[in-house]
Structure 1
Amino acid sequence: MRLVFAGTPAVAVPSLRALASGTHEIAAVVTRSDAPLGRKRVLTPSPVARAAEELDIPLIKADRLDAEVTSRIAALEPELGVIVAYGGLVREPLLSTPAHGWINLHFSLLPRWRGAAPVQRALMAGDAVTGASVFQLVAALDAGDVFAEERYDIPAGATSADLLDALAEIGAPLLARVVDGIADGTAVAAPQQGEPTLAPKLTLDDGALDLTRDAESLLHQIAGVTPEPGAHTTLDGARLKVLRAAPADAPPLPPGRVTASAKDVLVGTGTTPLRLETVQPAGKGAMPAGDWFRGLRSSEPVLGA
């Protein structure tokens, strides 16, 4: 078939490469415009743009799939549109432009976690299992019939970055098989079953740690918001990022109270303490929690107070 592929971040690259290595023709890759990155705000192509250039596939850079982009895609006469984490909505008339419409690789087991942040929300909720789904794109949010899915047990200690990388790798061959099935007429999609849950995009507030909550839910939150937007609390009014933490087998501490031994830096929660492993004070780089604690002026710091 003649395909158009839409994607932007690194997690979409395995899917693009899987399709490019197959028998189908990718007429164009649609990706978001170059973005300013780093302290010098240098305009940088997206990971998908770099991969498309390496594969010698024509690029369409656009932040919105508007009438102009729709016209450019229609001129290519695609038979199928494929989207993986593009970062924008496909609306009519573009939705119906390819003969077979559009399919989407989504990083959850639909209908659980429809929306922009399925991996992050799954971790924050403490899900034990997630996966990847390939579904027919429709006007309603992530509500189309599902062609195929792959379940994945969430490893202990995985962050959202870890989990996204894993799902990108298992999702790529799943997506390629569905495209092959649509091409040869064997692909069958089934309506989603079960009660939908929503996964809205994360905000900075989603990373704010309430240390009166139980330790387990705090660990789920830290995993889900790492690396973005990042878990954070405050010390003396200044923000402190918590980059990595772990359960601690220790007596309870008042919520937010920080203590240290020769081996561990502990912070109290609503239940058992957490062991702080890596933190980042405001204006500084990431550092071991022990180094951070030794540099504090207070011998009994309280986070979030």
Structure 2
Amino acid sequence: MVFQAASMDSLLPLEIELAERLIEHFLPGFVFTDEPQHDSVYWVDLKLAQAPLRLARMPSRALPSQRYFKPGPAHEAIRNLLNTLERGGDIPADINLGGQYYPKTLIPVVRHLAVYLAPVPPQRKHDRHRVKHRMAVLNGLVNAYVAFSGEFGGKPAGLQMESWVAENVSRGGFGAVVSDMPADWLKVGALVAMQPEGGENWLLGIVRRYHRVTESNARAGIETLARQALAVEVKPRAASSYAALPGVPALIIEEGCAAGEVHIVLPPASFDLRETLEYGVQEKRYALTPVALLEQTTDFELARYRQAVIG
């Protein structure tokens, strides 16, 4: 239950494994009770196959199968470990991580647990509104590249397009029902391009939550990454042999970025902190200087770059 409450959808697979071992270590510090306490944070019904829910309000009726829990002393212990690691200290010997790791590998995991397993966990940034709207969904960077390029019209023919029903929407994303399960691509971290029914514009998103309800139905939570994206081919900068170098498909995102910077969605294993990229659009050329890798999955990489006109 603590694992589910920790909202680890945004962590990498190794980080999730480390988080699970840390939760096991700190588990005695969490407080589980039959009755709600004034500072209980989560509740669960042991008879229902569902993840723990935040105790924003009491359940509609009290049942013997309900349990309540809060971080209790575990949160202070997690905070103490984070402070130790951030000050350059070593990983305590009594924490079994299943292997040897550098403290810097553990810091983002402990920081995540300290935030999401706090007495007051993060609150939703945007209000959620109930809707009932069908939307077309394309999977993966290559399909998204085709959709955002606009070269094949608003609904590119020949692409494997899913039809999902959005149940709720906020500025941050969608909650959707998937009626006919697609192939094995639907997973946390999958990149998707979405187009609401009747619309012409595409949205770019990442599957952050995924729960199979039945063999053929599932619910997915999608974070909206961008409402506009520029489809380009990027190449390493090499003045003498630029024309001969093959380009790779990428999506450039400007919204939500610092001045002079862009976010770029790249194929896996494309980001290199030592390599400046280049692309052209509308008879202009741009240089992209790497800043940081923001997210990495088996399907794509999301990175920050500084952008400058070079010709």
* TM-score relative to the length of structure 2: 0.23
Identify, as 1 or 2, the structure richer in helix.
Answer: 1
Identify, as 1 or 2, the structure richer in strand.
Answer: 2
State the structure with bigger RCO (CA 8 A, min sep 6), 1 or 2.
Answer: 1
